Amino acid sequence: MAILKPFKGLRPPKEIAHLVAARPYDVLNSEEARKEAEGNPYSLLHITKPEIDLPEGTDEHAAEVYQKAKENFLMFREKGWLVPDSKDLLYIYAQTMEGRTQYGIVGCAGVDDYLNGVIKKHELTRKDKEEDRMKHVRVTQANMEPVFFTYPAVKEIDDIVENIVTNKEPVYDFIADDGFGHHFWVIEDEATIQRIVSLFAQIPYTYVADGHHRTAAAALVGAEKRRNNPNHRGDEEYNYFMAVHFPDNQLRIIDYNRVVKDLNGLTPEEFIQKLQASFEVQEIGSQPYKPTHLHQFSMYLAGKWYSMEAKPGTYDNNDPIGVLDVTILSRLVLDEILGIKDLRTDKRIDFVGGIRGLGELQRRVDSGEMAVAFALWPVSMQQLIAIADSGNIMPPKTTWFEPKLRSGLVVHTLD
């Protein structure tokens, strides 16, 4: 059963919260982070992407980068830009995008839940990325950024959240520069906190929606600190890490698309001919075309958009992995025709979040950077949970959640 633990959060004063709040470390490269934080000393990017405060060209994994994260975190605390709450609390973090609002409960998940499989995952992690975030957690002694979890919706939890957000003013409420709204409440009533904790204790599993590397890093550092503490009791803060828990019925996954540099020696005509063995291919024209249902793809090639419908028999509806459109495309097109065997390492392929729109796919092909682009029908929350429950792992770059959590509204310290 799922652990949810209140904690004493470090939070920014209300008047600078919108300036502290930053996009997650892994959606920005160093150059983008430097530009985004320019002129804003409050941005959490000074801690999560601290290379922006070092000479340009500094290796983001150099020892001095992690040291800078530690220095900047200490500075934020000394200047009063991150202030500790006086007691253990839970929080509500809501996001609004395109008229939809999703409400998550911010609390600590348990390292034991991750190690024992109560927290389920659907993606593989890379050791180098795990180690990067582990170093960051070690040096700051904090979870600077929350991970994004989901759980099977519980009506009583929904009702509690609705009652709070209806009757209480948020402590933070702002629209970020991307147009998405961010709203944050503090749950201070002890009885309400304990009721939410007890309701989570009845939830059999929670699921990593986004932030697999941060989750793994937080859990592994917690386990590491246990081994190194001869007086370990089990109730230390390092046994927990910060997560925002959203009910599954409020979340929406958007498409995660692919662009490929070349056609593996084929002409566009030859490539289309090979596609026709497994797909019904129809030319649409010059206007962007979006898939309308599962097992339909759209393709942009040589200035034209096409519809590609996977033929019956090319997939297995009873196989939770084989039925995914990312699997169908990877197996029948990327592997068999284009010769791309490993999506994690092959430099000929890149991935484009659906938030960027089909125009981004078209732009990258028209520029000559890429030869062909594919847009996919998004995975459903039901598919994600079914795969995690079956113990399977999704192919790389399958899910894209939007909006991304803003970091800096609350921080969890391990000491």
Q: 248 with 260, same domain?
A: no
The pLDDT of residue 89: 98
The pLDDT of residue 403: 87
Q: 74 with 203, same domain?
A: yes
Please check whether residue 139 lies inside any domain of the structure.
yes
Mean pLDDT computed over every residue of the chain: 95
Please check whether residue 4 lies inside any domain of the structure.
no
CATH number of the domain to which 340 belongs: 3.30.1760
How far out from the chain centre does Cα 7 lie? 22
- Domain total for the chain? 2
Q: 347 with 407, same domain?
A: no
pTM: 0.87
The pLDDT of residue 65: 97
**Which residue range(s) make up the domain with 138?**
10-252+402-413
Q: 177 with 315, same domain?
A: no
**Amino acid present at 57:** G
* β-pairing verdict for 119-120 and 206-210: parallel
Please check whether residue 228 lies inside any domain of the structure.
yes
The secondary element (H helix, E strand) that includes residue 95 is strand 90-97
Q: 169 with 132, same domain?
A: yes
The pLDDT of residue 128: 87
Assign 244 a pLDDT band (cuts: 50, 70, 90).
Answer: very high
The pLDDT of residue 233: 94
Please check whether residue 222 lies inside any domain of the structure.
yes
User: What's the DSSP call for residue 124?
Assistant: -
User: Quick check: 342 pLDDT over 80?
Assistant: yes
331-335 long-range contacts, CB within 8 A, separation 24+: 332/278, 332/279, 333/275, 333/278, 333/374, 334/258, 334/260
Q: 246 with 265, same domain?
A: no
Q: Over the stretch 217-237, which tens digit does the pLDDT of each residue have?
A: 999 999 999 999 999 999 999
Residue 262: both structure tokens together: 């070349």
Looking at the chain, the whole-number percentage of residues with pLDDT higher than 90 is: 84
Q: Over the stretch 149-205, which tens digit does the pLDDT of each residue have?
A: 999 999 999 999 999 999 999 999 999 998 999 999 999 999 999 999 999 999 999
User: Quick check: 22 pLDDT over 90?
Assistant: yes
Q: Over the stretch 375-406, which tens digit does the pLDDT of each residue have?
A: 999 988 988 998 899 888 887 788 888 888 99
Contact 8, 86 (CB under 8 A): yes
Q: Over the stretch 35-89, which tens digit does the pLDDT of each residue have?
A: 999 999 999 999 999 999 999 999 999 999 999 999 999 999 999 999 999 999 9
Assign 122 a pLDDT band (cuts: 50, 70, 90).
Answer: confident
